[in-house]
Structure 1
């Protein structure tokens, strides 16, 4: 069975449930155009209508899942974030803290630190602040930006994994339901187990440091990062997979168990989304609270005028 055929599966479930329920209750199908008419049994038409009504919601239960995001749609954004991390790789943290992937150092970033020796002749307050607030802290700020970008990429990986597993899990719900409807009346109890992988596909990585050193803040800030469980190789605590057991010997009970499975899938998606959202809120709060750890200070030279640009506050004068 394929996820692309989910709505076809839903209609097959509805038809199978109706057929099974009619057989259980001794209700015949209504005569089709061209078939010889027959006299309905007492209450047969009403019973048939009740059966159709009982299972009328089956396709609509699966319809929202058919419109879930395509996991492949995240690939372009993931590639863009990887490109950003390539630009931000300063060498102080060569590995992605979420996945452990290694990024080559962007040698262009070394040129900022190399400018310090050329600025020895720049005197005054402007020169001192440029060296201490921009050049000296540049590597730490870029490293923090690299980690922030890694957290965003991890969140996208987690989203991709969540929807990939959500599609697989709901397809399994449909498959198991069809199998259960087919197995009714066989020897033995009609039981099946669903293993949920949606939340388990999102791995939580706690306390990823936002600074390789503490030059910008007395103590390094921290966030919680997430990523796809299959990608995360840093220390992490995985959410265990969940199992739900179902059973049913009548069409009504099997479909009720299916509804329970659909509700479970929705709950799993919501839980995974909440985990990812919590991580992003934490990252946003850390950046908002410690903006100076991610963005270099505004250059004082921007406030200079032609008449003041050579004052000690700005360019100063050469020694």
Structure 2
């Protein structure tokens, strides 16, 4: 049974108990014939019980077995006075829960979470690159191999030095930064899922306590759990191999605050005191409003963490993105001293492997970002100003993560192409190689893939 069906089933039980509660509070009891009759001092007037399948088909007033009249209910008078009472509680209680029937399904986020999680893993380094210990993508061990070979004694010359200084050296830092951005996208998406998982529990709890209060004609208390949704996320968002790194937040403070949110706060109790069904309904209504306010607060927190993270990326862009490769500006191969076989292997095998992993990550983020439908909620809930809540902000974060990866993959690809030109020296003079390098640099002039930092900066300026 789905969530909406579970809510519907509970609502119908609440309606039945609310009608019994109301009739009892007005002195009406079921007699041996199954009709309501005032007791102990009635005049013989009876009211038929709720009908089936439509409650309002019942509620007819009878006097001495014939159609009668009753005017003592505040919801209407006449021959169908009972039917008007039944209809009132049906409408009121169904309307109370109706917007909550279709709140986001936590399971709808799962496939997208897997995509974003795997995207983060694709750009996570292993211990070979001295960034991540026994967690990352083993295919990126090639980064360590690249650094080792480029920094070797048999690699000299302006082109090689430029590649080592401007690309190989910062590459682990940039990859680690992009891992943190992808992880922030995943953790905030997980936070959104957890909000609605908790909200479903709270809706059930409110409905159950409302039913209990209707039955007991007394009071009940429900604890709202949604406020805890953004806590202990580190344990809930593992990479495919190991739990999240304890220190990954060093690259992105917004991620650090989510992964170390601290102890769970006290849950918010909501009382269902009321001597009439109307008061119980009012208590339930206030409980649902409290739930809505709590969800809004949690989603505002998610949006705040997203913006904080994006601001960190734009302020400290060198830790997350590389500018146009300075290697492409170096076209002088005079004095170059290289192991041509190694250089050719780096250009045609090692760098393409790195490019593939980064492109895989970018593709996974793209597919993971197509989750807008999972965020939909009715505007009647009052949990957000739009029907998709903080999704637009989250989508910008996911786009930033994907664009950073795509841009870096482009850098790797074109750097590999430049190195391959330098390595292809068989039967060619230095002048010919230099001219080939110039042509390659001119071809790419003015084009540097995406501009992820600029795009994110503009969005932040437009959404202060």
TM-score under structure 2 length normalisation = 0.54
Q: Does 1:254 align with 2:280?
A: yes
Question: What runs of 5+ residues in structure 1 fail to find an aligned partner?
Answer: 96-100, 185-189, 213-219, 315-319
- Check conservation: 1:2, 1:171, Cα contact below 8 A: no
Q: Identify the residue that residue 7 of structure 1 maps to in structure 2.
A: 8
Alignment check: 8 A CA contact 1:22 1:51 kept: no
**Mean alpha-carbon deviation: is it higher for 80-89 or for 156-165?**
80-89
* 2:211 is equivalent to residue 178 of structure 1: yes
Aligned to 1:111: 145
Please say which structure displays the higher CA radius of gyration. Answer: 2
Between the aligned partners of 2:144 and 2:177, the Cα distance in structure 1 is 16
Range 85-94 or range 57-66, more displaced: 85-94
What residue in structure 2 maps to residue 131 of structure 1?
A: 164
* Preserved contact between residue 204 and residue 225 of structure 1 (Cα < 8 Å): no
Q: How many residues get paired? A: 289
Cα pair 2:209 2:272 within 8 Å, conserved = no
> Are the aligned partners of 2:150 and 2:164 in contact in 1 as well (CA < 8 Å)?
yes
Against the structure 1 CA distance between its residues 93 and 299, is the aligned structure 2 distance closer, same or farther, given a 3 Å change threshold?
closer
Correspondent of 2:192 among 147, 159, 173: 159
> Could you tell me how far apart the structure 2 residues matched to 1:52 and 1:19 are?
13
1:87 aligns with 2:122: yes
TM-score by length of 1: 0.75
Corresponding residue to 1:144 among 156, 172, 177: 177
Which ranges of structure 2 fall in alignment gaps of 5 or more residues? 29-46, 49-58, 235-245, 332-417, 419-431, 442-464
Give the equivalent residue in structure 1 for 2:400. Answer: none
Which one of the candidate residues 199, 203, 215 is aligned to 2:227?
A: 199
- CA distance change for structure 1 residues 278 and 74 in 2, over 3 Å: closer, same or farther? same
SS at match of 1:203: coil
Equivalent residue number for residue 276 of structure 1: 302
Q: Does 1:64 align with 2:90?
A: no
Supply the distance in 2 between the matched residues of 1:254 and 1:193 (Cα, whole angstroms): 11
Note the aligned Cα RMSD (angstroms): 3.7
1:198–1:268 contact (8 Å) kept in structure 2: yes
Correspondent of 2:69 among 40, 43, 60: 40
Q: Which has the higher contact order (CA 8 A, sep 6+)?
A: 1
